[in-house]
Amino acid sequence: AKKPKVVSVTGAAGAIGYSLVIRIASGEMLGKDQPVILKLIETEPGMKPLKGVMMELQDCAFPLLHGLHGTADLEEGFGDAEHCVLVGARPRGPGMERKDLMTANAAIFETQGKAINKAAAKGVSVLVVGNPANTNSLVLAANAPDVDSSKVMAMMRLDQNRAMGQIAEKTGCLVSDVEKVVIWGNHSNNQYPDIHHATVKGESAMKVINDEAWMKETFIPRVQKRGAEIISARGASSAASAASSAIDHFRDYVYGTGDMWHSIAIPSKGEYNTTPGLWFSLPRKCLGDGKMELVEGLTFNAFGEEMMKKVEKELIEERDAVKHLLP
Ligand code: NAX
């Protein structure tokens, strides 16, 4: 039997957390033969609802759940963690500017970075879901000097999944027929969902769709603003789909998916002319055991170049807004 792996989840009593922890405990993230020990982290006011979530986890009687802890203490919660999913963040309150939200959340990720640095297992991998995810990742990694920063990832998978769903719908194919969609840049309204390299059943998606106006006026804004579309329909923000994407991300990261492309944000080394040190999402192949390989040599047309510049500018502005938290 495999040794259990410790998975820490922050914001575990929130909407995404509620869906996420059940699926981790059922074995969907790390495999149906991989026992897990869940360490769930919440704020003090979150402890009561967290108790309820833990009761439900117990009542699911998952054979793979070999341990369950709930805490508001970060070092306890991240103790020996091999994988961390950081969902907990402050939602935007009424009248709160994006910048205030950025600073409030960056402070959370500063503290969590320090705790992960101190308490987590060697080789820990971290997925940041809480927004602004890319810049929170930057703050976290800067405050966790012993953690390999290329294992601190901002979640772009929901954006990728959203884009694949839209293309499948437009072409009347299955999502499994759609490959090589890329989300460049930031998990924000300025990201560049790019179908110039994508294929549908092996054929060029641009040729199959053959509708540039649809791409520019419908597809791109729809993927960029899908979060708002869900909020207006559901009266609450995307939760199950966000949790599902976090599961997809870690499963593919750990098990590998061969030649498939995934958009993952880790610190840039200047690839594709991006500014080094930004958590700029680029297409990568997951080779298993957390090894990744950049998809190189893709080209952009003038429209793509402009989209890349715009999203990079945003990531630089975000970085500059949290400069005071970078040691
Ligand atoms: P909820 O408000 O339902 O849940 C958040 C939970 O986090 C709450 O239970 C709260 O008590 C807890 N929390 C807050 N600060 C904490 C801290 N310092 N330590 C531990 N727990 C803390 O929000 P939910 O809908 O679950 O969304 C969580 C985050 O995910 C938000 O920041 C949201 O913007 C972000 N999202 C990111 C997405 C992505 O693709 N990267 C998409 C979905 C989602 O919008």
CATH number of 157-319: 3.90.110.10
Closest CA relative to residue 134, chosen from 102, 165, 111, 166: 102
pLDDT digits (tens, 9 = 90+) for 107-165: 999 999 999 999 999 999 999 999 999 999 999 999 999 999 999 999 999 999 999 99
DSSP 195: -
DSSP state of 283: E
Residue 107, token pair as written in the block: 């402070």
- Residue ranges covered by each domain of the chain: 5-154, 157-319
Q: How far is the CA of 325 from the centre of ligand 1 (A)?
A: 20
Please give the number of the atom of ligand 1 that sits closest to the Cα of 46. 11
Q: Would you state the pLDDT for residue 312?
A: 98
Does 86 contact ligand 1 (Cβ within 6 A)? no
SS (H, E, C) 45-87: CCHHHHHHHHHHHHHHCCCCEEEEEEECCHHHHCCCCCEEEEC
* pLDDT at residue 169 in the model: 98
Start-to-end CA distance of the chain, whole Å, equals 42
> Is the distance from the beta carbon of residue 14 to the nearest atom of ligand 1 less than 6 Å?
yes
Which pLDDT does position 97 carry in this prediction? 79
Is the minimum distance from the CB of 91 to ligand 1 under 6 angstroms?
yes
The number of the ligand 1 atom at minimal distance from the alpha carbon of 156 is 40
How many A from CA of 206 to the centre of ligand 1? 36
What local confidence, expressed as pLDDT, does residue 159 receive?
98
Peptide bond into 276 cis (omega under 30): no
Query: Per DSSP, what are the bridge partners of residue 148?
Result: none
Q: Is 10 in the pocket of ligand 1 (CB under 6 A)?
A: yes
Task: Report the CATH number of the 5-154 domain.
Answer: 3.40.50.720
In this structure, is the dihedral angle defined by the CA atoms of residues 56, 58, 61 and 62, taken in order, positive or negative?
Answer: positive
- The number of the ligand 1 atom at minimal distance from the alpha carbon of 155 is 41
Q: Distance between CA atoms of 178 and 203, rounded to whole angstroms?
A: 9
CA of 103 to the centre of ligand 1 (A): 15
Rounded to an integer, what distance in angstroms lies between the CA atom of residue 228 and that of residue 214? Answer: 20
Strand partners, 5: 36
CB 129 less than 6 A from any atom of ligand 1 = yes
Q: Which of 239, 251, 256 is nearest to 293 (CA)?
A: 256
> In angstroms, rounded to a whole number, what is the distance separating the alpha carbons of residues 186 and 165?
19
What is residue 68's predicted lDDT score, i.e. its pLDDT?
98
Residue 277: what pLDDT?
A: 97
Q: Which of 187, 197, 249, 262 is catalytic?
A: 187
82-93 per-position pLDDT tens digit: 999 999 998 777
DSSP-derived secondary structure letter, 185: B
Residues making up the chain, counted from first to last: 327
Q: What is the pTM of this model?
A: 0.98
Task: Note down pLDDT in tens along the chain; length 327 residues.
Answer: 899 999 999 999 999 999 999 999 999 999 999 999 999 999 999 999 999 999 999 999 999 999 999 999 999 999 999 999 999 998 777 777 778 888 899 999 999 999 999 999 999 999 999 999 999 999 999 999 999 999 999 999 999 999 999 999 999 999 999 999 999 999 999 999 999 999 999 999 999 999 999 999 999 999 999 999 999 999 999 999 999 999 999 999 999 999 999 999 999 999 999 999 999 999 999 999 999 999 999 999 999 999 999 999 999 999 999 998 888
The response to whether residue 108 sits with its C-beta less than 6 Å from ligand 1 reads yes
Cα gap 58→46, rounded to integer Å:
18
Going edge to edge, which strands form the sheet with 203-204? 178-179, 199-200, 203-204
Report d(CA 88, CA 42) in Å as an integer. 7
Q: What per-residue string of b and e applies to 220-246 under the rule 16 or more CB within 10 Å gives b? A: beebbebbeebeeeeeeebbebbbbbb
- 187 annotated active-site: yes
Q: Strands 5-10 and 291-294: what pairing?
A: unpaired
